[in-house]
Structure 1
Amino acid sequence: MRLLDMKTYVALARNRHFGRTAEELNTTQPAISSRLASIERELGCKLVIRGEGRFALTSDGENVLQHFESVLAGMDSLKDSLSGADHNSHEPLRIGAIDSVSSTWMPQLIEALHREFPGLKIELTVDGTKPLVAGMRKGEFDLVFCLHPVLDEGFRSYTACVFQMSWAGSPKLIDPERVYSVAALADLPIISFPKNSPPYQMVAPYFHDEQALASKLTSCNSLFAIINLLIDGFGVGAVPTVTIARELQMGLLHPIRVTKRFPPMPIIASYQASLRQEFIRQIVRQAKRCTADYCASANPEMVWID
């Protein structure tokens, strides 16, 4: 049986969609169907149940998936042992991260990975949670750090760290000595993350639970732009405290004393568990070490390991 067929089946089981699998493997849906049919003929059993929008693996299909993943992982390990793991340097590591991660401990992770894998090429994409999760499902990333896990089969997730969120504003706009109620905050112009993003979805119940209406709301898809808007006094916002530590120290922003704290924000890591298994496990171990080191060196009230 060809390795190409095994890789196709593993990708199909992960995507649970012929179109997405074809797109990931840069081929056509008929080619994916043909490879699946070839595997089923060779093994003499039905692997996939499909029809009317339904996709599921049979019990034989689940068993075959485990064996194919094991074979592919073994091939990766064999390549590692024969080439001193240098083959990974020819396949870039594709990392996706939201900007609150890219601006905190991501540089340490990249530096550590380059030390461990001197020839490794790293492609870092900074984007929002929704496109990162969608890209992971399409096979565009090996590892992502965002606010939602990738729950599909073939992926693993864990909580990388937790960011404390703080309301902050410029001394041009807020009184640092005042304690603001939720209603008082609602009267201020608020700079938020994009609509339907996880941080935005946390803002709405924050006010609604107190029967307050935040009517002067501006959304922005860039943490850096939000911070600059806060500094310029265009509004107040709830952002990860650690991302504005320098601005707080310089007095450009002040934490707003509130009667109700904004909930903390867990950062979720999701990674491919089907392909390049041993290599990805090494990457995940290094990511966990870097995150732990960063949390140990930072203010424990701003970021911590859950």
Structure 2
Amino acid sequence: MRILDMKTFVVLARNRHFGRTAEELNTTQPAISSRLAAIEREFACRLVERGEGRFALTLDGEHVLRHFETILENIETLRGEIGEGAGHAPGPLRIGAIDSVSSTWMPLLIDSLHHTFPNLKIEMTVDGTKPLLTGMRKGDFDLVFCLHPVLDDGFRNYTACVFQMTWAGSPKLIDPDRTYSVAALADMPIISFPKDSPPYQMVAPYFHDEQVLASKLTSCNSLYAIINLLIDGFGVGAVPSVTISRELSSGLLNPIKVAKRFPPMPIIASYQASTQQDFIRRVVRRARATAEHYCAKVNPAHAWID
């Protein structure tokens, strides 16, 4: 039996969709159906129940899936062991991250990966949590760092690190000696992330819990743009402390003393668990070590490992 057929079945079981599987494997739906049929002929049993939009593995299918995953994992382990000295990597590695990660410890991770895998090609995408999760489910990424986990079958998740959020604003707006209540913040123009984003979903309850509504709220989908708007005095905002450390130390922004602390923001890593398993595990180990190293260097109140 071909490795390609086993990989096809594992990817199909994860996607539960012939079209998405064909797209991920850069082939056609008839080719996927043909590979599945070949496996079913090999074992003389039905592995998938499908029809009328329904897709489910049979009991035999679940059994075959577990064995195929083990076989593919062993193959990847063997490849890793053989290619360890030469920095073997199947590549390209497709990483997605929100901008608070890309602007902090992601460059350190990329440098570490290039040191471990000198010939590794890395495709980096910076986007919001929602499109990153969508892309992960479609097979566009091998590893993403965002604010929510991928809870579907075939994925694994862990908390990469935690970022503390800081209310900040231009010295033109902020009195550094004053402690601002939630109501006082709500009276000021507020710069926030888009309404469908996890950070915004943290901002809204911050005010609603105190029965205060922010009357002047501007949303933006770019952390860099939000920071520039804060510097220019267009409003105040809650952003990860580590992303504005230079602006705070230079006086371009002032931290706001608040009566109610803004909750910290966990960064969640999600990765595919059914393909290139040993390689992805090695990448994840590098990512864990990089995040830990970064958090050890910065203010422990601003970023930490949970």
TM tier relative to shorter chain: over 0.9
The amino acid of 2:291's aligned partner reads T
After superposition, what is the alpha-carbon deviation per residue over 1:93-120, rounded to whole angstroms, capped at 9, x for unaligned?
Answer: 1111111001111111111111111111
The amino acid of 2:165's aligned partner reads M
**Any conservation in 1 of the 2:164–2:264 contact (CA below 8 Å)?**
yes
Instruction: Give, in whole Å, the separation in 1 of the partners of 2:88 and 2:224.
Output: 33
After superposition, what is the alpha-carbon deviation per residue over 1:222-280, rounded to whole angstroms, capped at 9, x for unaligned?
Answer: 11111010000001111001111111111111111111111110000011111111111
Total equivalences in the alignment = 306
Unaligned runs of 5+ in 2: none
What is the aligned partner in structure 1 of residue 236 from structure 2?
A: 236
Instruction: Give, in whole Å, the separation in 1 of the partners of 2:4 and 2:168.
Output: 53
Aligned to 1:95, the other structure's residue is in SS state strand
Instruction: Give, in whole Å, the separation in 1 of the partners of 2:287 and 2:90.
Output: 21
Instruction: Give, in whole Å, the separation in 2 of the partners of 1:11 and 1:32.
Output: 10
Instruction: Give, in whole Å, the separation in 2 of the partners of 1:155 and 1:204.
Output: 30
The structural deviation recorded for 1:179 is 1.4
Instruction: Give, in whole Å, the separation in 2 of the partners of 1:85 and 1:67.
Output: 29
What is the aligned partner in structure 1 of residue 204 from structure 2?
A: 204
1:287-302 equivalences under 5 Å are 287-302=287-302
The amino acid of 2:206's aligned partner reads Y
What is the aligned partner in structure 2 of residue 64 from structure 1?
A: 64
Instruction: Give, in whole Å, the separation in 2 of the partners of 1:86 and 1:282.
Output: 14
Instruction: Give, in whole Å, the separation in 1 of the partners of 2:96 and 2:56.
Output: 28
Aligned to 2:151, the other structure's residue is in SS state coil
CA RMSD of aligned residues (A): 1.7
Aligned to 2:61, the other structure's residue is in SS state helix
Aligned residues with identical type, % of pairs = 76
Instruction: Name segments (4+ residues, structure 1) moved above 4 Å.
Output: 81-90
Instruction: Give, in whole Å, the separation in 2 of the partners of 1:113 and 1:42.
Output: 40
Worse overlay, 74-83 or 174-183 = 74-83
The structural deviation recorded for 1:147 is 0.5
Instruction: Give, in whole Å, the separation in 2 of the partners of 1:46 and 1:177.
Output: 72
Q: Are 1:224 and 2:224 an aligned pair? A: yes
What is the aligned partner in structure 1 of residue 187 from structure 2?
A: 187
**Any conservation in 2 of the 1:193–1:219 contact (CA below 8 Å)?**
yes
What is the aligned partner in structure 1 of residue 266 from structure 2?
A: 266
Aligned to 1:173, the other structure's residue is in SS state coil
Instruction: Give, in whole Å, the separation in 2 of the partners of 1:86 and 1:179.
Output: 57
After superposition, what is the alpha-carbon deviation per residue over 1:62-118, rounded to whole angstroms, capped at 9, x for unaligned?
Answer: 221111112222222333444557584462111111110011111111111111111
What is the aligned partner in structure 1 of residue 283 from structure 2?
A: 283
What is the aligned partner in structure 2 of residue 125 from structure 1?
A: 125
